[in-house]
Amino acid sequence: MKKMIQHGLAIVDSPYDDEGKKRTLVNKLLLGLTPSQYLLQAFRNPFNWILAAIFAIGIPILIGRFFFGLAWATSGSNDYPWGLFLGFGLFAMVPLSSSGFQLGTACEIFGRHDLEPIERLALLNGLLGYFFAVMYLLADLGQPWRLPYPMVVSFGPAAVLFLVAWHVATYLSVQVAEVSTAFFEWIGFPAGKRAIRKITLGLTVSGIILSTLHQGALGALFTYAPGKVHPLWYSSSFQWLHFFVSSLPGGLCMVITVSTIVAKTMAWRGDSRFHEKLDKVTVSLAKGACMGIATYITIKLIGIAHDNKWAYLDTGWGQWFMFEIIVGFMLPLTLMTYGVHTRKMAIVRIGAFMTVFGVVLNRVNTAMITFNWKLPHREIPPWREVIISLTIFATYIVVYRFILYRLPILYKWRRQEQEETVPEAVPAAARGRREASTVPVASYSRMTKLD
Amino acid sequence: MKRRNFLKACLIGGTTIALGKTNKGYASGSFEGYPEAMGVLVDTTRCIGCRSCEAACNKEQKLPEPDTSFDDPSVFEHDRRPTAKAYTVVNRYQKEQPSGPVYRKVQCNHCNEPACLTSCFVNAYTKTQEGAVIYNSKVCVGCRNCMIACPFNAPGYDYDSATNPVVKKCILCYDTRLKYGRPPACVEICPQEALTFGHRADLIKLAHERIRATPDRYVDHVYGEKEVGGTSWLYLAPVGFDKLGFDTTLSNDPIISNVKDFLGMVPMVLSIWPALFSGIHLLCKNQEHGEHGHDTDSNQEDTKP
């Protein structure tokens, strides 16, 4: 894409193209390219080849899982009923997706409009994370077609999972509504956008409620297995609090991570507002994440003190626990605090990556690695399970990229009247480029011949 | 904030509360089990490891043929657990002891307050009056939370089935025998009378009576009398239960009592959060209108609620 823009391609950021004609849906879907140009840029991207390789192997195995059963695709263990699909897919994706409700709260409830350049990215990150957590769940459930049963057929209201099912389903629809404003802008349906704007406050508040509860509920799921989860990762009183509080820095740091990646890999898509404000917004997010991590470490230590589990720290499990909390939480807290104070963005971002790693490690530890710590054998996921997990994650990346390329997430959608009222919203660089090149498509086709 | 928006927020909050009400857990005090509940007392000092109970269970429950025959002693080399293909298994312990090995039959213990039942989000499990924990495989979604929750690792999952995998475990022969007042197949077949079927309350008395009559033969504990709120299957043992693969670290409270801390918090969040955050929003709004030039950067509010 970068090369094409250098050669004068006008990126899609308004309903009208250069000649003032209304863009068609196909044109918007193809990023303003012709089909052959679109294919060309897709083929030229080496990352697409990696994805293609993953899909070529992964999709047949994923389909095989539904034909040959879970025993074929996963470890199919009675002692470790939850493998990678849930241990990583569900339990790690959900905390990394708490960004939606946090940025929604900051912008809409606390009125932190300075965070708006990243609000939509955070909302989308939340939506996709949840959506793909559900995809992982569908791959893992014995009978995924029965997923609506807890909603319509048979109710088990005393179960924590019942709460998780209802809340994730409700919250997914809340997030679809929140992200749909960007979609309505892009598709050209302002009435829909206005309707959503009116209920934004309600959506945001219900987002906070649902998130608090099901982030905590995922932790509470493990309070059903007091003897199986290792005491250092288990706390009857605080388990839900540990999961909820660690999801806060997890979500914020995931947004820092994603925004860092997209600012590098799809710089053309972000407008000047996004690029100029990114560092400042990252600092704000990192500050929030630092407070979250500090709170998390505190209650984690309180949890250990509450049940007097200090002796466990002196075991092999204890060292593993200290590795998790030091590398995954304490070190990033130090790095981010230092980075924020000295405005060293690279250090802040490294801290954020490490926090994401820490949260994922914590969930995988609780659900898989330290689970059944009293049993003599540990379960290593078989290769098919790993491949399927990787395939679903690759799909997540593809869908994420597909949406970021198109919808006004990283940039502001320009409308005719907006250009007059909010001129600074127009990416100056892009406009300059467009003025400079008189015959964009012609110059581009010249380039393709050269290649 | 417009009044209309406020009312809308209230409406949405209210709906969420109404929705969430159903999520409240049954916070029952201490359920001692149904008075008429039946149970089985396993006297491990009598068991000779003949595995005829395994064979009887296989036949009664129409389970698939086992990999090796029920006479094959090689299965004792490793500890086994109940699976979807074998609802009960016998394990051998204390092999090197001069007093000879001790055998222990493992199956679902049919808790008074089953963890599987309370963890199931489609309410597939039922604790019947007769004491059996049965399940409705027609609604099982296959989340396997019951297997996570079970403190005895009893439920198995038939991972091999692609089209209709469900959780499977001992149901105390409820459909074919218990319902009609007959003992389970394993009890009936036992040649050593190691298994005794009866009312749970009577079995507890019987177990303590045996310990009192021959204190040298048993350790003074009836496993299952109090563990996780009591189970329908009760065990007597000649040596410490921890030496026979029993989990002796289990609390006497049912598993659900660990979850109540969280379940109690749910209605609080549902009722307090909407007002709290709508209120904060109102405060922030007023501030914006009041002092136009306020510096948002100096006001580094943490984004977590």
Instruction: Give which of A70, A235, A255, A340 to mutate to test B binding, by max B Cβ within 10 Å.
Output: A70
* Average predicted confidence (pLDDT) for chain A: 85
Q: Are B131 and B34 in contact (CB under 8 A)?
A: yes
Query: How do the domains of chain B map onto residue ranges?
Result: 38-257
Residues A200-257 have pLDDT tens digits of 888 888 889 989 898 999 999 999 998 899 999 998 888 999 999 999 999 999 999 9
Residues B23-49 have pLDDT tens digits of 444 444 566 778 889 999 999 999 999
Q: Are A97 and A250 in contact (CB under 8 A)?
A: no
C-alpha closest to that of A167 among B262, B254, B6: B262
Q: Are B143 and B130 in contact (CB under 8 A)?
A: no
| A307: region left, alpha or beta (phi > 0 left; psi from -120 to 50 alpha) | alpha
pLDDT at B67 over 90: no
**A-to-B residue pairs, Cβ atoms closer than 8 angstroms:** 256
Pairing of strands B38-43, B233-236: parallel
Do B300 and A287 make contact, defined as CB atoms within 8 angstroms?
yes
CA distances to A128, A364, A366, A389 from A91, rounded to whole Å, are: 14, 7, 9, 13
Fold of B38-257: Alpha-Beta Plaits (3.30.70)
Do B304 and A248 make contact, defined as CB atoms within 8 angstroms?
yes
Length of chain A: 451
- Chain B residue nearest residue A250, CA to CA: B304
Distance CA A67, CA B36 (A): 45
Name the pLDDT band for B286 (thresholds 50, 70, 90).
Answer: low
Separation in Å, CA of A361 to nearest CA in chain B: 20
pLDDT at B105 over 90: yes
Element (H, E) at B236: strand B233-236
ipTM attached to this prediction: 0.81
Q: How would DSSP label each residue in A246-266?
A: HHHHHHHHHHHHHHHHHHHHT
Radius of gyration of chain B measured on its C-alpha atoms:
26
Distance CA A106, CA A116 (A): 9
Distance CA B290, CA B74 (A): 82
Distance CA A88, CA A79 (A): 17
Q: Are B247 and A227 in contact (CB under 8 A)?
A: yes
Residues A84-133 have pLDDT tens digits of 999 999 999 999 999 999 998 898 888 888 888 899 999 999 999 999 99
- Rounded to an integer, what is the distance from CA A348 to the centroid of its chain? 19
Shortest CB distance from A149 goes to which of B141, B159, B296? B141
Task: Give me the CATH code for the A45-413 domain, please.
Answer: 1.20.1630.10
pLDDT at A437 over 90: no
Shortest CB distance from A110 goes to which of B143, B263, B284? B284
pLDDT on residue A37:
84
A309 touches chain B (CB under 8 A): no
Distance CA B65, CA B62 (A): 9
Which residues in chain B are contacts of A147 at CB distance < 8 A? 141
Distance CA A246, CA A407 (A): 30
Residues A300-349 have pLDDT tens digits of 999 999 888 898 998 889 999 999 999 999 999 999 999 999 999 999 99
Looking at chain A from residue 65 to 84, which residues have their Cβ under 8 Å from any Cβ of chain B? 66-72, 74, 76, 78-79, 81-82
Query: How do the domains of chain A map onto residue ranges?
Result: 45-413
Buried b (16+ CB within 10 A) or exposed e, B60-71: bbebeeeeeeee
Q: Are B227 and B250 in contact (CB under 8 A)?
A: yes
Do B302 and A108 make contact, defined as CB atoms within 8 angstroms?
no
Q: Are A283 and A259 in contact (CB under 8 A)?
A: no
